[in-house]
Structure 1
Amino acid sequence: MRDDQQSRRPPRSGRVRLQRSAGLDYENVFQLRTYIVDHSMDKLAALGRVIAKYWPERPPVQTLLGVASLALPEMSFEVDAVAVRR
């Protein structure tokens, strides 16, 4: 799967469901840690488009790390989000 196609898919993780069951949503996210395999400007642009979609006005604080690999070979991105109840 191409990176731009992967970036348009909704998150597969159960964390978003867990957040919502706790009364939290995307506006409660204050920090993102993003891990990218074989970091490139194209992947950075794809990530920027997704972040702008979910946080168009004020994105959370972000840390971006290039990594050699992730848990599964087909994974290109992994995002760790921290949310708080305000």
Structure 2
Amino acid sequence: MEKNEKYLRAERKVRALKGFYIHLIVFILVNIGLFFIDLIFSHDGMWFYYPLFGWGIGLIAHGISVLGFGRLFDEDWEKKKIEEFMNKD
């Protein structure tokens, strides 16, 4: 693998990780805000956990794609599978 290719792959990974960190920070800040809005203005019941739960699922999926299972289906995996299928035919 060329040095330039390694750099580009590393750069993509860093961008993905940076995107996840930004997503996490926005998630925390917005949900803290929603908690206080709910606490101050809602006298009937608590509702802030609905968006917290829904958005949390999306955040977990984003985290898994960046930090965990996303590595299973990266470009190398695709290339290997393409070569595997081409060799079978």
What TM-score do you get using the length of structure 2 for normalisation?
A: 0.28
* Highest RCO, 1 vs 2 (Cα 8 Å, sep ≥ 6): 1
Task: Please identify the structure whose Cα radius of gyration is greater.
Answer: 2
